[in-house]
Amino acid sequence: MAYHYKNLNISKLSVIGAGQIGPDICLHFAKVFWKNNVEFVIVDISEDALAAAKAKIEKKISKGEESGAFKKQMADTMRNSITYTSNYDAIRGSNVVLEAATEDGKIKDIIFKQVEALTDDSCLFLSNSSHMQPEVIFRNIANKSRCLVTHYFFPAERNPVVEVVPGKDTDPQITADLLGFYEAIGKVPIEVASSYGYAIDPIFEGLCELAILCLEKGYGTVKEIDAIARKTLHQGVGPFTALNLTGGNPITNHGLEEMRETHIQWFRSPKLLQQAVANRTAWDTAKRGEEVEVDPAKAEVLRKQFLGGYFALCCYIIDLGITSVDDLDMATEIALVIAAPFTLMNKIGIDEAHALVKEWCAEHTDFPFPKSLDKAKSDGGWKISRIIHKKRDNISVLTIRRPKVLNALNLGVLTELKAEIEIAENDASVDGIVITGFGTKAFVSGADINMLAALKTPEEGYNNSHTFQQLINTIEKCKKPTVCALNGFAFGGGNELAITCTARVAKKGLPVVACQPEVNLGFIPGAGGTQRLPRLVGVDIAAEILRTARPISGAEASEIGLVDREIEGDLIEGAVAFAKQLVNGEVEPRDFMKGGSAENLSPKEINIGHLSKKIDEIMNRAIYEGIKLPLEEALELESKLFGECILTEDMRVGLNNFLENGPRAKAEFKHS
């Protein structure tokens, strides 16, 4: 058995380099492929490094076992799937070789010449370089079409971002397959054109340089600079702490000096960084829990430095033309645990962002003012989309991509989706539309909880519900068939979006494909769920699902008519094929009642457990009064009743419990 993805077939994968990141990369692969009987090899010339790598991996597996993340069989399989060796012959038969050795061109060249002699021409060559261009790393490899850089971020087994960097000779199909492969195994890949440092490291290392320059100029202490940078840019840790955690002084020192030659003169290793590397000293950062007070005047100077510098660095990358605004905005936020740069510029105002960068560049004279920021200002802000649009065989495929929040919906995302649907509807070359989600875990995890928690009055609740409905109604009103391709679970607003489509298909075997969890949080669905679900699967079935928040498997969803077809193999290919069948009239859409029912229906007795009796009462009114009305009037009723939930004590109880204790904790409802 092996792992198969399109043209990639993996039964053996070798990682060369047992230092800091190689073992973590191997651990992630072992975790993902534990059921596929894939063989892993870690090779290093140092026996000490191999022993340390084995200890590190086995410690992490044991921790996962203790926490319950790994069952014993999974943990044992992961441990037994990895061989640690200094013998390069062990990589024979590998389908993929991923090098994660020292950032040295000569060493990488020697490694890949050895690898080339031991593997066949179909073996995929990957380098986890943090800076070097693929044309340099693979310069002496005969078949360069299978060679790419795949740049991971710390910690590699948990940080999802991977920069995929093809060289000028890389086969574009291999690049496309690799991007899809990484998404399929839970990573968030972005394609970056060949450039020293790629897209994200110049930003990270530029911020580290800026922090050290601020220290050299006396703008603050290490602790003060770290604290203000973290607060200003919403970072997980400040730049000095990041350097300490990753052992990043030497590589940042080297990278900055190289970027001075390959990019612009502003990049350079400051004297204090060179001293830290020479003396092997860490930065004197704040201890865990230590509060750092900063004088307001000093804080303002540092705030302007980091906003101006961060925005300038990110715009500079866009000026290089090596990646897109959408990809960089998303990947920088996730990889570096920092505010999404272009979203932040729009939030504070593009004019202010422009002025901050102008002021910053006036001080940092070696940094040219970015042309892309001038254009963004003239456009009234950055154009950022969370919807990926591709076309397959006259079918428009729209992918909702917000991996940080499992593709959760907010009004901005729905507005973008509405616009894309209208574009596809008016495009004569498009016959139908497929809507899916990014990744493998969630189609859409629901609506943004913080947005819902901010609602204070019934009027605000009504308006929120009504606006969501109007945006989602665009799908229902579309004159072309729409197919929702459920790549993972659809919770709350995700399921409400799905049931607005002409049809739904799901990846076969999903343990959970849909759930309306709103009653767990003390309110009812507000984007059409109380009205469309009963019309699709039947009133009593829908009522039980809505009133209990019970999750539905793919098999059950197919049985009750929530899903039209389960897809084996490639989900999008299956969804596109199904959309074509709808277009050609080979299959008919499932019956959906838009008019009101003449039946005298009433709520059934069901056990709602700890859930709010008050919210259940409102839910029943929505379902059983709504089913008697035409759909348009029924949706209006739902919005009014959603607003009514705002007046209940239980909506506050449910939302506060979720925000404070997480989704697994049961709220103590007051039934009022």
* Catalytic positions: 496, 518
* SS3 track for 604-653: CCCCCCCCCHHHHHHHHHHHHHHCCCCHHHHHHHHHHHHHHHCCCHHHHH
3 state DSSP class of 443: strand
3 state DSSP class of 311: helix
3 state DSSP class of 15: strand
Q: DSSP per residue over 327-355, as a string?
A: HHHHHHHHHHTS--HHHHHHHH-HHHHHH
Identify the DSSP state of 592.
-
Cβ neighbours, 10 Å, residue 413: 23
Q: Are 283 and 224 in contact (CB under 8 A)?
A: no
Q: Are 236 and 291 in contact (CB under 8 A)?
A: no
The tokens describing 198, both together, are: 């790629």
Sorted by sequence, the CB contacts under 8 Å of residue 444 that are 6+ apart come out as 400, 406, 407, 408, 409, 437, 490, 491, 493, 494, 497, 498
3 state DSSP class of 407: coil
Alpha carbons 579 and 586: distance in angstroms, whole number: 10
Alpha carbons 446 and 512: distance in angstroms, whole number: 14
Alpha carbons 615 and 319: distance in angstroms, whole number: 53
Longest Cα pair distance anywhere in the chain, in angstroms?
A: 83
Alpha carbons 486 and 56: distance in angstroms, whole number: 37
> What's CA 279's distance to the chain center, in Å?
39
Say which amino acid occupies 577. Answer: A
**Phi–psi pair at 588, nearest 5 degrees:** -105, 145
Say which amino acid occupies 262. Answer: T
Closest to 256 measured CA to CA, from 302, 199, 204 = 204
The tokens describing 474, both together, are: 């665009």
3 state DSSP class of 390: strand
Closest to 647 measured CA to CA, from 610, 606, 617, 605 = 617
Alpha carbons 42 and 549: distance in angstroms, whole number: 46
